[in-house]
Amino acid sequence: MTGTLTKVRGVATSSNSPVWELFCRNGSRLFVKVAPSEIFHVREVHAYRFAVPALGPLCAARLMASDPAQLAVLLTAAPGRNVTTTRLTMADRIKVHHQAGWLLRALHSSAGVSIGASVDPGGLLRARRRSLEEHLAAAGDLLSPAGRELVRRLAMLLPLLSSCPVAFIHGDAQERNLLWNAATESVALLDFGRAQPALAVDDFVRLATGPWACQPRLRTAFFTGYGRELARPEKQVLPALVALDAVRGLAWGARIGDDGVIGRARMTLKLLSNGVVM
């Protein structure tokens, strides 16, 4: 299927999900990705087969083959360079977020009417509450008393999840999963291992505490591309989801001994305490 290979290069940023770039004699490139667990593999294959085609041929990789036994997928190369490692002007970043909004809206709408039947808002609420308690315990002294009080106060908003629109989400929407093609001024979306029916607002959490926190123009561009602003319950519950993500980051950073992860989580909590996340 791939023809003769001339080079294989490891490109994964995480040992939990290794990725290799394959260079073919005919000049094409392919990628082999191994999922960290069966659920990630199943979600990624499902997304590439049934949801990703809605994005268009140049806006994501295409699935060429999958091997459930090895938890592996063979993908084409999506055009462009990673947004986080490419020097972009503000004008280009605005274009990136505008197109990212359009892509996520297309993805969110891709699974049609079956989405609502596959999402249990009550189950999501119970799962978020369990997750919060587990990660609060794991974070331990990394979370100050004031931070712990802030998180618990925001968690009181979690019942609003039942009023939020459902969607087929990407699950890890952030700049590191976006490619920018300068020649065509277009964006491609990467990494669908967390894609699943859930709440649309979940896909805004990492963006809200990352690029949008410092550059509100990027947020405006995104939602212009997305085609709608946050619904009222989404806007109200977003800080609670951000707080939960930050506590999860503290717990994970403590587990793996990563000061960078812990630092980002603390910065997120600082943004929340300053009322930056809207």
Q: pLDDT (tens digit, 9 = 90+) per residue, 222-253?
A: 999 999 999 999 999 999 999 999 999 999 99
- SS3 per residue for 238-260: HHHHHHHHHHHHHHHHHHHCCHH
Lookup: tokens for 44: 């990624």
Lookup: tokens for 97: 């977020």
CA–CA separation, 18 vs 10, rounded Å? Answer: 8
Q: How confident is the model at residue 277 (pLDDT cuts 50, 70, 90)?
A: low
Conformational region of residue 88, where left means phi above 0, alpha means psi within -120 to 50, and beta covers everything else: beta
Compute the average pLDDT of residues 98-121: 82
CA–CA separation, 121 vs 227, rounded Å? Answer: 24
Class level of CATH domain 81-273: alpha beta
Render pLDDT for 47-75 as a digit per residue (tens, 0 to 9).
Answer: 999 999 999 889 999 999 999 999 999 99
Lookup: tokens for 143: 């979370």
CA–CA separation, 191 vs 214, rounded Å? Answer: 25
Quick one: CATH architecture of 5-76? Answer: 2-Layer Sandwich (3.30)
- Provide CATH 3.90.1200.10 ranges for the chain: 81-273
Residues facing residue 169 across a β-bridge: 196
In the chain, where do the E strands start and end? 5-10, 19-24, 29-34, 63-67, 72-76, 81-82, 166-169, 178-181, 186-189, 196-199
- CB contact burial 88-115 (16+ within 10 A = b; e otherwise): beeeebbbbbbbbbbbbbbbbebbeeeb
Which is nearest to 110 in space by CA: 68, 71, 60? 60
Handedness of CA 189, 191, 196, 200 (dihedral sign): negative
Pick the more confident residue, 115 or 74.
74
What are the start-end ranges of the H helices in 17-84? Answer: 38-50
CA–CA separation, 133 vs 152, rounded Å? Answer: 10
Residue 116 has pLDDT above 80, yes or no: no
- Provide CATH 3.30.200.20 ranges for the chain: 5-76
Which is nearest to 21 in space by CA: 83, 80, 77? 77
Lookup: tokens for 123: 């189950």
pLDDT value for 113: 45
